[in-house]
C-alpha cells in the first residue's frame, strides 16, 4: 500500500521537508496499521529537522499522532480494527504521514471522552507537563513556580495544572497578547520578557519577597538559563527541558553554591516514559486532569498536514500559542 508522508534527507530549513509517496508495509508481529486522523505539532519536530536533536537520515518526521487501527499483525490481541489510539514516541519518526505501521507496545488506547483532536494536541505536551509537575519536581499547594514560554503548548498546560494543584505560577512570554492568554490559563503573574538586557530574575525576586521560586521550569535554554539560576530559592530546583533558543550552557557547578545550592536537571520525556506501565499511568493522570476540567486543551492552530512546513515556520517564529494540530 502507498501513502503520503514527509521525509527529510538533509538537516536544514523547512525546504528540506519533502512530501512524498511512500510504501507502507503490512503490519508484522506485534504491529498494527494505523490511519492517522490527527498529528500533533511539537517544537522538538523543528529541532530534529535542523539537526539540533540529531537523528539518522534519511528519516520521517514527528512522534505524536492519533489514529484508527486498520489492520493488525500476527499475534496482536490487545487491539482490533477500529480501535482509536495515540502515541508519543515509542515508534520511529513517522507521525507526519497519512498511514503508518506502529508497534502495539507504544500505543495508548484513548478513552471515549477524549476526542482525536484533543488527544493529538495533548498527549506529548500533557504527559511532559505531568512528569515535570509530579516527578521532576513535585509541585505542592503553596509553592511558587516559574514557567518559561507560558503561553506555548506545554506552557499553557503547565500553568493550568499547577494552579489546580494550588501553586502560584509566574510565567515568561514575549508579548502582551501572550501574557493575556497565559493569565486566562492559570498563570498568576505573566512577565513580558524583553529581547535585550535583564529579563525576569529581578521581577521574580520582587514577586516572591526576595526568596525566589521553588522550581524553575526552563524550556528556552540558552537565553534564559543564567537568569533561571538567579530566580530559584534556597535549595530549589532548576529544570531545563528544552532548547527553544539553543541548548543551555554547561553550568559551572561550583558557582551554584552561592546561588543557594539548587538542584539542577535536564529532563527528557524518554526518561520518564520508560515502560508501557509508566507511560499509561502518566496518560491516565493527564486524562483525569482533562476530565475534571483542571486542564483545558487549547488548539489555537490547525494546518493541513501537507502544510506542515508553514506550521514549522510559525512555531519557530513564536507566532503560535497553546497547542497546534496537523490534519492528514
Contact partners, residue 137, CB within 8 Å, separation at least 6 = 145, 214, 215, 217, 237, 239, 263
| Site for ligand NAP contains 39 (CB under 6 A) | no
Binding pattern for the stretch 159-178 against ligand NAP, x by CB under 6 A and - elsewhere: --------------xx---x
CB of 193 to ligand NAP, least distance (A): 7
The rounded distance, in Å, linking the Cα atoms of 13 and 128 is: 26
Closest CA to 324 of 314, 67, 287, 18: 314
Of 211 and 285, which CB lies nearer to ligand NAP in the complex structure? Answer: 285
Residues 213/217/218/224 CA torsion (nearest 10 deg): -10
CB of 160 to ligand NAP, least distance (A): 14
- The neighbouring-strand residues paired with 113 are none
Of 119 and 154, which CB lies nearer to ligand NAP in the complex structure? Answer: 154
CB of 264 to ligand NAP, least distance (A): 14
Q: Which residue is nearest to ligand NAP (CB)?
A: 152
Binding to ligand NAP, residues 42-61 (CB under 6 A): 42-44
Of 27 and 153, which CB lies nearer to ligand NAP in the complex structure? Answer: 153
Question: How many other C-beta atoms lie within 10 A of the C-beta of residue 160?
Answer: 23
CB of 60 to ligand NAP, least distance (A): 18
Size of the site for ligand NAP (CB under 6 A): 29
Closest CA to 39 of 82, 98, 80, 92: 98
Binding to ligand NAP, residues 226-245 (CB under 6 A): 241-242, 244-245
CB of 94 to ligand NAP, least distance (A): 18
Report yes or no: 95 and 36 within 8 Å, Cβ to Cβ.
yes
Of 242 and 328, which CB lies nearer to ligand NAP in the complex structure? Answer: 242
Binding pattern for the stretch 111-150 against ligand NAP, x by CB under 6 A and - elsewhere: -------------xx--x--------------------x-
CB of 258 to ligand NAP, least distance (A): 27
Report yes or no: 64 and 39 within 8 Å, Cβ to Cβ.
yes
Of 50 and 251, which CB lies nearer to ligand NAP in the complex structure? Answer: 50
| Site for ligand NAP contains 200 (CB under 6 A) | no
CB-based contacts of 91-94 (< 8 A; 24+ apart in sequence): 91/63, 92/59, 92/60, 93/48, 93/55, 93/59, 93/60, 93/61, 93/62, 93/63, 94/5, 94/60, 94/61, 94/62
Report yes or no: 300 and 282 within 8 Å, Cβ to Cβ.
no
Phi, psi of 162 (to 5 degrees): -65, -40
Of 244 and 308, which CB lies nearer to ligand NAP in the complex structure? Answer: 244
Report yes or no: 66 and 116 within 8 Å, Cβ to Cβ.
yes
| Site for ligand NAP contains 268 (CB under 6 A) | yes
Applying CB under 6 A, among 65, 119, 121, 154 the residue interacting with ligand NAP is 154
Query: 166: burial class by Cβ within 10 Å (0-12, 13-18, 19+)?
Result: exposed
Can you give the binding site for ligand NAP, defined by CB under 6 A? 42-44, 124-125, 128, 149, 151-155, 173-174, 178, 219-220, 223, 241-242, 244-245, 267-269, 315-316, 318, 320
Amino acid at each position: 500500500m502507498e501513502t503520503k508522508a514527509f521525509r527529510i534527507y538533509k538537516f536544514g530549513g523547512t525546504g528540506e521537508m519533502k512530501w512524498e509517496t511512500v510504501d507502507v508495509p503490512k503490519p508484522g508481529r506485534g504491529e498494527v496499521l494505523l490511519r492517522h486522523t490527527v498529528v500533533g505539532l511539537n517544537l522538538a519536530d523543528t529541532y530534529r529537522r535542523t539537526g539540533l536533536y540529531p537523528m539518522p537520515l534519511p528519516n520521517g518526521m514527528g512522534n505524536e499522532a492519533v489514529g484508527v487501527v486498520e489492520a493488525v499483525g500476527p499475534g496482536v490481541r490487545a487491539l482490533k480494527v477500529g480501535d482509536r489510539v495515540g502515541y508519543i514516541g515509542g515508534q520511529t519518526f513517522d507521525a507526519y504521514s497519512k498511514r503508518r505501521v506502529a508497534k502495539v507496545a507504544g500505543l495508548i488506547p484513548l478513552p471515549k471522552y477524549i476526542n482525536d483532536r484533543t488527544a493529538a494536541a495533548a498527549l506529548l505536551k500533557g504527559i511532559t507537563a505531568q512528569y515535570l509537575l509530579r516527578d521532576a519536581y513535585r509541585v505542592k499547594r503553596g509553592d511558587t513556580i516559574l514557567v518559561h514560554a507560558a503561553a506555548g503548548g506545554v506552557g499553557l498546560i503547565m500553568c493550568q495544572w499547577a494552579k489546580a494543584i494550588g501553586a502560584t505560577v509566574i510565567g515568561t512570554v514575549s508579548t502582551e497578547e501572550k501574557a493575556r492568554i497565559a493569565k486566562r490559563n492559570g498563570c498568576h503573574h505573566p512577565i513580558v520578557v524583553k529581547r535585550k538586557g535583564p529579563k525576569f530574575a529581578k521581577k521574580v525576586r520582587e514577586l516572591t519577597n526576595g526568596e525566589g521560586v521553588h522550581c524553575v521550569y526552563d524550556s528556552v535554554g540558552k537565553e534564559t538559563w543564567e537568569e533561571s539560576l538567579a530566580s530559584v530559592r534556597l535549595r530549589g530546583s532548576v529544570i531545563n527541558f528544552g532548547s527553544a533558543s539553543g541548548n543551555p550552557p554547561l553550568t559551572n557547578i561550583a558557582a551554584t553554591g552561592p546561588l543557594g545550592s539548587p538542584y539542577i536537571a535536564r529532563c527528557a520525556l524518554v526518561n520518564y516514559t520508560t515502560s508501557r506501565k509508566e507511560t499509561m499511568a502518566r496518560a491516565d493522570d493527564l486524562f483525569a486532569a482533562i476530565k475534571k476540567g483542571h486542564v483545558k486543551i487549547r488548539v489555537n492552530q490547525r494546518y493541513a498536514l501537507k502544510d506542515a512546513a508553514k506550521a514549522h515556520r510559525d512555531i519557530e517564529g513564536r507566532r503560535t500559542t497553546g497547542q497546534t494540530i496537523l490534519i492528514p
